[in-house]
Amino acid sequence: MEIQIIELFENTGMYAVWLSILLSIVISILGIVPSIFLTVANIGFFGFCYGLFLSILGEALGAIIGFYLFRKGLNKVTNKVSVNNKVLNKLQETEGLKAFTLVLALRLAPFIPSGLITLVSAGSKIGILNFSIASTLGKIPALIIEAYSIKEILDWDWQGKIILAILSIFILMFRKKRPLAVKA
């Protein structure tokens, strides 16, 4: 998929930066599409530093816009999202600095989907400014680690990539945790 995105960037010329940011926003709003493909494409097309910057900017804007849209939608339907996770449930009841630190901590957690954090935050008492700052600050270290890992994997030869693919399949086959259930 990242190859198609890179080709799209090549075909859009000087608009590739804006397309990257727009794709990040759409991915964030959808909440179920992993952003790793776009991060790979950004690094492959724009280089490590600029690609990382675009990934951070796009994901931050996407989370903020997603938060706003989710909050508007939840206020029309209901103001509570039911999630099977103690920390996410706690976020719904907190506000102020405590909510800020929870969003920051959740963004740093590698296995909680970003869209789910945004959705639960939108149904919580946290304000958009606190969410925006905490979310962006939490995304920066996660994206640096993701981008560096991608850079290193792209630099591997084909044997290393085969070993990584086998290891990934092994991990997926033996994963015992169930995904988080969300009820609106």
Range 175-180 average pLDDT: 54
Q: Map 9-36 to HEC letters.
A: HHHHHHHHHHHHHHHHHHHHHHCCCCCH
All structural domains of the chain with their residue ranges: 2-183
Within 10 A of 76 (CB to CB), how many other CB atoms are there?
Answer: 8
**In this structure, what token pair is assigned to residue 4?**
């198609």
* Residue 129, pLDDT above cutoff 90: yes
* Residue 183, pLDDT above cutoff 60: no
Task: Report which of 184, 158, 162, 150 is spatially closest to residue 70, judged by C-alpha positions.
Answer: 184
Choice between 18 and 81, residue whose per-residue pLDDT is larger: 18
Task: Report which of 123, 113, 115, 114 is spatially closest to residue 89, judged by C-alpha positions.
Answer: 123
What digits encode the pLDDT tens for the residues 26-57?
998 887 788 888 998 999 899 999 999 999 99
Query: What is the full DSSP assignment across 171-184?
Result: HHHT--PPPPPEE-
Q: What per-residue confidence (pLDDT) applies to 80? A: 59
3-state secondary structure of 85: coil
* Residue 77, pLDDT above cutoff 70: no
* Residue 114, pLDDT above cutoff 90: no
Give the C-alpha separation, 171 to 115, whole Å. 23
Q: Which residues pair with 183 in a beta bridge?
A: 82
Task: Report the chain's mean pLDDT, rounded to a whole number.
Answer: 83
* Residue 184, pLDDT above cutoff 50: no
Kindly state the DSSP code that residue 82 receives in the 8-state scheme.
Answer: E
Q: What per-residue confidence (pLDDT) applies to 60? A: 94
3-state secondary structure of 83: strand
